[in-house]
Amino acid sequence: MKKRRSNAVMGMSFFTPALILMIVFLFVPMLLTLIYSFTDYFALSPDNTHFVGFENFKKIFRDELFTKAFWNTVGFVAIIVPLQGLGALGLALLVNKVAHFKKYFKVAFFIPVVMSLAVVSTLWMQIYSPEGIINTILGQFGIDAQPFIHSAKQALPSIAVMSVWQGVGYQMIIFLGGLQAINPALYEAAEMDHASAWQKFRDITLPELKPLCIFVFITITIGAFRMIVQPMVMTGGGPSNSTYTLVYDIYETGTVNWEIGLSSAMAVIFVVFVIILTIIQNVLTRDKEEKKK
């Protein structure tokens, strides 16, 4: 009895530092975000705050900039998710199969992952510049110089491609881990039946990787939804707001315009999105696990 009690005290005391920090910097901010989203809290005159019901949410959906930011974000997701997901899977299959320099390939495709978003963005600003290396190479093939991040049409896809380049190695490593976890006996059995490479891929590799695929695609989707630093550094959201994103809008509305109420409402919508995606992922993968049993 006494021991159990002392365990409870000790457990709590080990857990308390983390708990206090979680309360102050995670729970309370989440709760406040939810509460503020129903107020007109303006950080420069906090005493003048009123409860406004769903006014912020109505305002957001009428707001042109927010709508633009939303569709831009969807645009980023639409380009990044298939490119990065399939790219990572393709790279992982190749690196898994290659007989020589395997270690070099793992490192080479992972290098951009450890570079920071700010560095990668600064570097690609030079690469995409009107007189930059890509336009010079294009010029040698007789192709006109492209404006890339300086045009409202090309800025979003240009940043999306750069983001895929930066992130693809991360998911490649996850897929490689998954590939190496597949029981080799499955392939041996298939080889006895003279299965072709494509049959082996379709009937063994793909089904075995399915839960991991769902996980990877959802994480890339959430990651793409969180896009902010790249447009912040490269274009400031422009030209003509063509690379302004949801998180960028949340951030600027909060820390530049100090409209905490409005910014909180945007954050609530964003978090709901992320939670829905996570639930979808859990449902899809759980389904798979149960079938296995």
Partner 1 sequence: MKTKAKKISGWILTVFMLIMSLFFLFPVVWMLANSFKGDALITADMNSAAAFIPPALNGSFFDNYITIIKDTSFLRYMVNTLFYAAILIVLGIVVNGLAGYALAKIKFPFADKWLLIIMMLMIIPSETIITINFLTIAKLGLLNNIIGYVLPMIVNPFNIFLFRQVFVSLPDDVYEAAQLDYCSPIKYFFTMVLPMSKTVVATVSVFTFLGVWNDYLWPSLVFTSSDLLTAQIGLNSITSNDNTTMGQTLAVITMITIPVIIIYSLFSKQIVEGVVSTGSKEG
Footprint of partner 1 on residues 17-76 (CB under 8 A)? 17-19, 21-22, 24-26, 28-30, 32-33, 36, 43
Considering only residues 209 to 228 of the shown chain, the ones binding partner 1 according to CB under 8 A are 211-212, 215-216, 219, 222, 226, 228
Tokens read off for 173 = 């490593």
Considering only residues 135 to 154 of the shown chain, the ones binding partner 1 according to CB under 8 A are 136, 140
Measured distance CA(200)–CA(184) in Å, rounded? 11
Question: Between residues 33 and 242, which has the closer beta carbon with respect to partner 1?
Answer: 33
> Under the criterion CB under 8 A, does residue 237 sit at the interface with partner 1?
no
Handedness of CA 40, 227, 72, 122 (dihedral sign): positive
Measured distance CA(232)–CA(221) in Å, rounded? 19
User: Which residue from 71, 278, 283, 287 is in contact with partner 1, where contact means CB under 8 A?
Assistant: 278
Tokens read off for 193 = 């039946």
Tokens read off for 90 = 């393709």
Kindly state the number of chain residues that form the binding site for partner 1, as judged by CB under 8 A: 90
Question: Between residues 237 and 254, which has the closer beta carbon with respect to partner 1?
Answer: 254
User: Which residue from 208, 233, 238, 239 is in contact with partner 1, where contact means CB under 8 A?
Assistant: 233
The nearest distance, CB 281 to partner 1, in angstroms, is: 8
Tokens read off for 229 = 């630093």
> Under the criterion CB under 8 A, does residue 167 sit at the interface with partner 1?
no
Considering only residues 174 to 203 of the shown chain, the ones binding partner 1 according to CB under 8 A are 174, 176-178
Tokens read off for 67 = 């709508």
User: Which residue from 1, 2, 64, 99 is in contact with partner 1, where contact means CB under 8 A?
Assistant: 99
The nearest distance, CB 180 to partner 1, in angstroms, is: 9
> Under the criterion CB under 8 A, does residue 114 sit at the interface with partner 1?
yes
Three-class secondary structure of residue 156 per DSSP: helix
> Under the criterion CB under 8 A, does residue 101 sit at the interface with partner 1?
yes
Measured distance CA(95)–CA(104) in Å, rounded? 10
Of the candidates 66, 85, 67, 69, the residue with the CA atom closest to the CA atom of residue 221: 85
Q: Where are the alpha helices (DSSP H) in 115-236?
A: 117-127, 133-140, 155-180, 184-192, 197-200, 206-225, 229-234
